[in-house]
Amino acid sequence: MPSSLSGAGDRGPLFDPVFGAEALGAALSDRAWIRALLDVEVALTRAAAALGRVEETHADAIASAAATLAEDLDPADLGRRSAAGGNPVIPLVSLLREHADAPARAVHVGATSQDILDTALVLLARRAGKIVLTNLCSAADGAARLAATHRATPMVARTLGQQALPTTFGALAAGWLLSLDDAVTELDRALTRLPAQYGGAAGTLAAVHPDGFAFADAVADLLGLARPLAPWHTARTPITTLATTLGVAAGAVAKPATDVVLMASTEVGEVSEDAPGGSSAMPHKRNPVAAITARAAARRVPGLVSTILSSTDHEFQRAAGAWHAEWETICDILRLTGGAAHQLSVSLDGLHIHTDALDRNLDLTGGAILAEKVTAALSEHTDDARTIVTDAALAGRRLDEDPGTTAHLDPHEVRELLDPTRYLGHATDIVDRVLAHHDSADRISGDTR
């Protein structure tokens, strides 16, 4: 496996496809990191040329050299060169100066390593974030289709692991959709607001005074990033906001994935995936692999978010360690969240809903899930309504066959009370409301959706 500047040791061709991160693996690879770092250096020189500090021909020469290095530079070699200085910018700048037909002063104008790394990181996040957003949108669309198709399909709702009251599968899917849509909106906002970083050696822009703010704005514009209000060397809210927003998105993915895994269990049997996975030892297994791997990827995200949040104490004008801890961690959060969203979309797009199993499980208690409705009707005839219904439920007797109940209510009336389709509350209205929001809002900047 190639050395990694941007991911944990298990990232690569073996595991990325398993966890849905094949496209993100490429977008956050060592090669992608090198390209992003060089893109920032080129933008910096272009900004300097626009401000009259560098010849335009020198900027063109640096851009040409950067394009060659982006294709030819060996990440492993750059990694080895980076060890002495603690980051890859130092040797990369030397290589760019060596290969560009331009004076050394035209490269890395007024910048420090953190300027390049921070801006490259947010540039990578914007690029990879588009893939994450696409995957989240796909998962949300899958949930929307299920909600619309099964808007009024009755099933049992479960609370604390126990059967509770009737609901619809559409309402369950609408709950998934609500969280996924929120995650899409918030992540799009966080990505759009990611700013370029340019502050110089100590964050004062001294090397390019009085053009510092114009420099920073020009770099941001050239790279398609937000303009920074001021250097944010040790004000890490852009990074923590990105990380926590991705953490919330991973949670929005994990919820439906968990429901699918549980509903696909043999005893429940309410759903199955279109292409279930088998077992190396048990031929009968039909595992909901897409939901399982979505859940697995999402489970790793909160710990990584915690790493980012615990690294916010950047001392003075450059942190010793806290800053370095962000680089790979942010990339892994992007990769895992986007991969989880991809796997969830695969699961939901091919999810089969077994209405016979929904009906069977809905009737599993013999109507006990509608005990509160029968109790209310009984209470008009006797003060012992709750005791009668509780005794029948504990004894496992159907309420329409229980002597205590039928002594006060006609069995036909009880059967009507036990009809789950008559006690769905606003389940279908919830579906309609969430779907209307999903369909009407243009929540994504650009053309992601």
Query: Residue 192, exposed/middle/buried by CB under 10 A (0-12, 13-18, 19+)?
Result: middle
Q: Active-site residue among 145, 193, 318, 449?
A: 318
Q: What's the CA gap between 33 and 120, in Å, rounded?
A: 7
Q: Are 340 and 253 a contacting pair, CB within 8 Å?
A: yes
Query: Residue 31, exposed/middle/buried by CB under 10 A (0-12, 13-18, 19+)?
Result: middle
318 in catalytic set: yes
Number of residues that make up the chain: 449
Cis link prior to 420 (omega < 30° from 0)?
Answer: no
Q: Active-site residue among 3, 105, 227, 279?
A: 279
6 in catalytic set: no
Q: What's the CA gap between 364 and 377, in Å, rounded?
A: 22
User: What are 435's two structure tokens?
Assistant: 């779907």
Q: Residue holding tokens 């994935």?
A: 257
Q: In 3-state terms, what secondary structure has residue 161?
A: coil
Q: What angle do CA 275, 279, 282 make, to 5 degrees?
A: 125
Q: In 3-state terms, what secondary structure has residue 237?
A: helix
Query: Any idea which residues carry the catalytic annotation?
Result: 279, 318
